[in-house]
Amino acid sequence: MSLAMGVLQIVEDAACAQQFQRVKTVFLEIGELAAVEPDAMRFCFDAVIRGTLAEGALLKVIEIAGEGLCFNCNQTVPLAARYDPCPACGGYPVQATGGTEMRVKELEVE
């Protein structure tokens, strides 16, 4: 719920800075390794936007694939979960380098 409230705060700050009155769509990037469940985020977002300038807005989630750097074979590899072994060599450690983020990418406004 607090993450959804944070997204709403970003939207409200943008509305204040850019002088728009209503938000129609929020495009939110969520990394596969960000520990954020997209369906839970949609549910919480719908709850927190009631009575705000984003009421009725759609939340479009763009999922970002996980990626990591294997220190054993020095390759950048796809990573399905943190602390997984390297899919190329089976070695450890693999440091996540992508897919850990969550950010508001774009707003469609009126």
CB-facing half-sphere around the CA of 20: CA atoms within 13 A: 16
Bridge partners (DSSP) listed for residue 78: 67
Point out the annotated binding site for Zn(2+): 70, 73, 86, 89
